[in-house]
Amino acid sequence: MGLYLDPNPAGFVEAVQSEIYVDKSELIKYTNKVFATAQKNICISRPRRFGKSMAANMLCAYYGKNNSMRSIFEELKIYQDESFEKHFNRYHVIALNMQIFLSETHNVQRMMEKIQKSLVEELQQTYPDIMADSLTEMLARIFDKTGEKFVFIIDEWDCIFREKRENEEGHITYLDFLRNLLKDRGYVGLAYMTGILPIKKYGSHSALNMFTEFSMTNPRGLAPFVGFTDEEVQGLCEKYGMDYVEASRWYDGYTFRKEPHIYSPKSVVDAMLNEEFDSYWTQTETYDALKMYIEMNYDGLRDAVIEMLSGGRVKVNTATFQNDMTSFQTRDDVLTLLIHLGYLAYDSNKEEVFIPNYEVSKEYRNALQGAGWTKVIQAIQQSEQLLQDTWNKKEELVAKALEEIHLETSVLSYNNENSLACMIALAYYSAKNYYTEVREMPTGEGFADIIFIPRKNHLDKPAMIVELKWDKSVEGAIAQIKEKKYMKALEEYKGNVLLVAINYDKKNKKHECKIEDELCL
């Protein structure tokens, strides 16, 4: 057992013995399936604090031949799988945390030299009769003599691209090092790399094209291992007596084809242990990390951020992103990076991005304030008063406030009712504190533009059905709510309902508002 060859599995033992441990051991079912096949090279990219290192430690503990981990794995789901015994504790594991190597050397070339020197020394202690001049030659000789395959676990593989952003020569050298170590090598039984970024693209330079990638834009069949699933969070909420609906509002929102609800694991664990919903994941990094990207001067980026902050979605093309933190050409490149960093969720079916949950939304508000978006922040700050005026049915004040917010922000150009809806949602930003907001909600005979449903701990607030019109009338909007029986959308709600009609007159550029009371029995 060494530092890098068959390292001590204490990290995984510590995770399993923690008060909250969510069993993700069935990931091993997939790695066993691809072991020593053409798909044996796997790259997993996730945001920070989404369990990447824990999974890497688990694989080290499972495959490492010098470990004695049966008592730990007997309690996990993977123990019941038919592939468990075939690969359990049967291989030498080479585990490399690239962040540690880079922190110790501060230089890409010296980092690679240290990796090779350290591994050759440990391999020679295990195989004293085998000598070689380089790491790859040493591994090849061991395989030739013994037939033993190695498991490579590489954590923080992308730290060079995050910390040495401008060192393009170093990037290419590093990719070539990994290719030479892993590509078409008989001694590789499994190569499992984790990081925040997918594999860097360099035009025709496909150094690591042998890897199958599982990312935040396409986690494929490994979506349940990105974070906590809905079922897992429901179980934790029951165990710790926490409100599942609130947990969803705060931490849910990452969505994939095969797993529509994925939660931020760091935040869920801390919320359960602290018995309080708060911002936990976002506290692990300053909002400056987000601010520097949303400040970038790309056409449409500002509009996109505001539209998403208002609860909307934005179309995005993720294909042009070069998988680094410097090669930005369009707003889509910035938005795609924010997906990988966890600040945006991605709907691959619709090719749209959106802010995933309340915790991340709060971080955007902090970043906007620090980025100097004064008018937008003022609009958000005014939203509490707008909400109060709406509850009190002060129609003229509501119309006037909407007018001011529209003129002050001048972000979303009014082209249709959808752009009007985005501005209205931004104007009612503080409603997030009291309501669940649903857009285009199916009702009796149509779709309500926006419905605000009071959350369980704010049932003293009235529900609100908002109908938006463009060059029509607020009276017609109220009539539509009633005639099409939009109240049916609130059948499970009992209490006061405000019917809020808002019309924008394109000719005189004025907003009108009409508010009526209804009672949902």
Q: DSSP character for 468?
A: E
Give the pLDDT band of residue 330 (cuts 50, 70, 90): very high
CA distance 208 to 99: 19
Q: DSSP character for 381?
A: H
Q: What is the pLDDT of residues 160-207, one digit of tens each?
A: 999 998 898 999 899 999 999 999 999 999 999 999 999 987 755 567
CA distance readout (Å), 239 to 233, 242, 243, 267: 10, 8, 11, 16
**Is residue 148 classed exposed, middle or buried when 0-12, 13-18 and 19+ CB atoms within 10 A define those classes?**
middle
Q: What is the pLDDT of residues 92-127, one digit of tens each?
A: 999 999 999 999 999 999 999 999 999 999 999 999
Q: What pLDDT, on the 0 to 100 scale, is given for residue 440?
A: 76
Percent of the chain with pLDDT over 70: 94
Q: Which two tokens stand for residue 434?
A: 């009291």
Q: Which of 69-83, 195-209, 372-386, 419-433 has the highest mean pLDDT?
A: 69-83
Q: What pLDDT, on the 0 to 100 scale, is given for residue 457?
A: 87
Q: Which two tokens stand for residue 320?
A: 């042009």
The CATH class of the 374-520 domain is alpha beta
Contact 344, 338 (CB under 8 A): yes
Q: What pLDDT, on the 0 to 100 scale, is given for residue 132?
A: 92
Contact 354, 313 (CB under 8 A): yes
* Pairing verdict, β 495-505 and 510-520: antiparallel
Give the pLDDT band of residue 470 (cuts 50, 70, 90): confident
Residue at token pair 């939203």: 383
pLDDT at 521 over 60: no
Q: What is the pLDDT of residues 412-460, one digit of tens each?
A: 455 556 677 788 888 899 999 999 888 877 766 667 788 999 998 898 9
Q: Which two tokens stand for residue 475?
A: 């009276």
The ranges assigned to domains in the chain are: 10-214, 228-367, 374-520
Query: In whole numbers, what is the pLDDT of the chain averaged over residues?
Result: 90
CA distance 51 to 222: 13
Specify the pTM.
Answer: 0.92
Q: What pLDDT, on the 0 to 100 scale, is given for residue 415?
A: 56
Instruction: Provide Rg for the chain, Cα atoms.
Output: 27
The CATH topology of domain 10-214 is Rossmann fold (3.40.50)
Give the per-residue SS3 of 22-91. CCCCCHHHHHHHHCCCCCCEEEEECCCCCCHHHHHHHHHHHHECCCCCHHHHCCCHHHHCCCHHHHCCCE
Q: What is the pLDDT of residues 10-23, one digit of tens each?
A: 999 999 999 999 99
